[in-house]
Amino acid sequence: MTEDRIYGIHPVREALMGAKKPEKILMRQGLESPVSLQLTELARQFDVPVQFVPQEKLNYLTANKNHQGVVAMLAQVDYVSLEEAVAAAGRKPGFPTVLLLDGVSDVRNFGAIARTCECAGAGALILPAKGGAAVNQDAIKASAGALLRIPSCKVPNLRTAIFYLRESGYVIIGTVAGQRQSIYDTDFRRPLALVMGAEGKGISRGIMELCDELASIPQLGEIGSLNVSAAAAVVLFEAVRQRMNK
């Protein structure tokens, strides 16, 4: 694990062409040269997010080095492919479980979810390349090191992952508030792909329509929603409870 970044047009282009892609690319706001447009297009081809930021941020990240308006942030852990993630989950004892995160971008929530996944025996985490949380130092710290133990996979879109998981024998269950079916009425004693949405927004409509089942967490208070990391813990440990009481 390293905390690293590279900067400059040529080094960033080489990183995009290499085997280990950057986590994301930061470009100076207003940068519209032909070379920067080529970099943007190359990043799009490899599903690497591009974020436009003020010059001051790039100066800070590079200690005022000659960054040429471009900085690439490298992931601190190695992501695995979708196939590798599903294979790793399948090697876990009992019913395999993977967690898909739809729009969860807060790194501390992501880290807390990873910690719960590791404790509950989940086999892999899957998140979208665009809009998903970064596996950075804050996420690793919040996970208490779990992100170094559980495989993480970034996919161009979650739809592809859902289709692959269904073909691999998983049932896709989305957690959505207000559903008549609760998690306590849901059978988790089968290969499980659990979809959790961002706090407030929830699971996107398109992903929700791909789920085999939708279930809610019963709540008695007035706030109306749980933090996504807390919700993930409730659902995952209901799965643990059911599987321990066969």
Q: How far does CA 215 lie from the centroid of its chain? A: 21
pLDDT by residue for the chain (246 residues), tens only, comes to 344 788 888 888 888 887 667 888 999 998 888 888 889 999 988 888 899 999 999 999 888 888 899 998 877 677 889 999 999 999 998 999 999 999 998 889 999 999 999 999 999 999 998 888 877 767 888 888 888 889 999 998 999 999 999 999 999 999 998 888 999 999 999 999 999 998 778 899 999 999 999 999 998 877 767 899 999 999 999 999 999 986
Residue 236: CB atoms within 10 A of its CB come to 24
Q: Specify the pLDDT at position 19.
A: 64
Please tell me the predicted confidence (pLDDT) of residue 165.
97
Please report the pLDDT score of residue 48 as a whole number. Answer: 87
CA distances from 33 to 28, 40, 42, 43, 62 (A): 11, 11, 14, 15, 21
Using CA of residue 105, residue 108, residue 109, residue 114, what is the dihedral sign?
Answer: positive
Domains of the chain: 5-74 (3.30.1330.30), 82-244 (3.40.1280.10)
| Nearest Cα residue to 136 out of 120, 152, 121, 157 | 152
Long-range CB pairs of 178-184, under 8 A, 24+ apart, other chains included: 178/216, 179/214, 179/215, 179/216, 180/216, 181/213, 181/214, 181/215, 181/216, 182/215, 182/216, 182/217, 182/218, 183/215, 183/216, 183/217, 183/234, 183/235, 183/238, 184/218, 184/238
CA–CA dist 98, 124 (Å, integer) = 5
